[in-house]
Amino acid sequence: MAKAATAKTSATKASSAPAKPARKSAAKSSASAKADTPAALGFRMPAEWEPQEAIWLSWPHNYDSWPGKFRPVPYNFANIVSAITRFEPVRINAAKKLQARARRLCERADANLDRVTFHDHPTNDAWCRDHGPIFVKHTKTGEVALTDWAYNAWGGKYPPYDLDNEIPPSIEKVTGLRRFVNDMVLEGGSIDVNGQGALLTSEQCLLNPNRNPHLTKEQIEQNLRDYLGVTDIYWLGEGIVGDDTDGHIDDMSRFFKADGIITCVEPNKKEKNHTILAENLARLKKFRTPAGKKFDIVELPMPRPFGFNRQRVPASYANFLIVNGGVLVPTFRQPGPDARAIEIIQGCFPDREVVGVDCYHLIWGLGTLHCISQQQPAAGPSA
């Protein structure tokens, strides 16, 4: 999702063999009986369009994630902070030494600083969707809690990631929210939910031996059901070209309503993504809701392929971020395709303000808006 995929060139990547995630916290509030799992206690993962309290980000500082092109990235982040604060608060994980400059850049970008909070949470990288917690909410009381999954930097590709693994317990401390720990490797960008029991994911990612080689597909599904409160799991196949996360769903297909999915397509049959996305579209058309109905599927064309230093990037308009009253859509300095994507996404969210956000420099890190962010649901009874 994003992804949280860090953008190193292939030459900088370490082995993709499974690496055991570093975990310093011994507290595992849900590691005991199955009766203590979030789902058994009444929690579920809300849809992204449900009310949010804040968006969490992790401030960029790792030059290796944007090799040779890091300089514009903090400015890009500041502009994203500014865009989010139009709609809701932003909470930023950043080591103390990074905060003064980050605050200045956000102020220069006209962010509403009354809605920005910095937390002294050092990180290895900036991909909060994947190293941050996945929040859940109690169906009756409205209590918000966080689920803390193992994180191994997309199959051990980019060590070290020990600091990133400490972000969920750090957020637990500053928020006072209950934390449920699961030792299964799971990144937030690899899943998408509709808040009513359905979850989208990909075989390339969740069944990849560099994540959980000791777990079967059935065991992975059970973990998702127990910790995220989902009931129906829909599997797509391969991810888009250039995605170093091994097929994160938030670069391909996203729910936009309980029975609606917006999915990427590549009309150009000569393009590498054409067959991959056509096969996923064919699967989507076969999926059925629990009531036996077809999903409402909206096709979203890909931007024109491009890259840096002869490395292709996984640019995708599906990496949008839903916020309170709005949707932020990544754009890539392609006026025609960008405008068309915004138009299509606006049609999916007619009651929200859809805003394009320039992510041309950010995508060199192999991820954009959804990959860098994680939403914290608003507490209280659901509408």
| pLDDT score recorded for residue 25 | 39
Using the predicted structure, report yes or no on whether residue 30 has a pLDDT greater than 50: no
Model pLDDT for residues 171-205, shown as the tens digit of each residue: 999 999 999 999 999 999 999 999 999 999 999 99
For the chain, percent of residues with pLDDT exceeding 90? 90
| pLDDT score recorded for residue 382 | 72
Averaged pLDDT, 96-103 = 98
Spatial distance between the Cα atoms of 215 and 209, rounded to a whole number of angstroms: 9
Using the predicted structure, report yes or no on whether residue 29 has a pLDDT greater than 90: no
CB 195 within 8 A of CB 45: yes
Averaged pLDDT, 107-125 = 98
What order of strands is seen across the sheet that includes strand 232-236? 192-193, 198-202, 232-236
| pLDDT score recorded for residue 96 | 98
Averaged pLDDT, 226-237 = 98
The one catalytic residue in 106, 205, 359, 371 is 371
CB 30 within 8 A of CB 180: yes
At residue 372's C-alpha, the angle toward residues 369 and 375, to 5°, is 90
What average pLDDT does the structure give for the chain? Answer: 92
Using the predicted structure, report yes or no on whether residue 17 has a pLDDT greater than 80: no
Identify each DSSP E strand in 96-139 by its residue range: 116-119, 134-138
| Non-local CB neighbours of 88 within 8 Å, separated by 6+ positions | 52, 53, 54, 55, 115, 323, 324
Using the predicted structure, report yes or no on whether residue 5 has a pLDDT greater than 90: no
Cα 345 to chain centroid, rounded: 18
For the chain, percent of residues with pLDDT exceeding 70? 91
| pLDDT score recorded for residue 383 | 61
Q: Which residues pair with 180 in a beta bridge?
A: 147
Using the predicted structure, report yes or no on whether residue 368 has a pLDDT greater than 70: yes
CB 236 within 8 A of CB 1: no
Using the predicted structure, report yes or no on whether residue 31 has a pLDDT greater than 70: no
Whether this model's pTM surpasses 0.85: yes
State yes or no: is 359 an active-site residue: no
Q: State the DSSP string of 121-138.
A: ---SSS-HHHHS-EEEEE
Number of Cβ atoms within 10 Å of the Cβ of 107: 15
| pLDDT score recorded for residue 37 | 97
Supply 188's token pair: 């937030």
Spatial distance between the Cα atoms of 187 and 152, rounded to a whole number of angstroms: 9
Model pLDDT for residues 332-344, shown as the tens digit of each residue: 999 999 999 999 9
Phi first, then psi, for residue 109 (nearest 5°) are -85, 5
Model pLDDT for residues 321-332, shown as the tens digit of each residue: 999 999 999 999
Using the predicted structure, report yes or no on whether residue 372 has a pLDDT greater than 80: yes
Q: How big is the chain, counted in residues?
A: 383
| pLDDT score recorded for residue 381 | 81
Spatial distance between the Cα atoms of 184 and 227, rounded to a whole number of angstroms: 11
Spatial distance between the Cα atoms of 10 and 19, rounded to a whole number of angstroms: 18
CB 301 within 8 A of CB 233: no
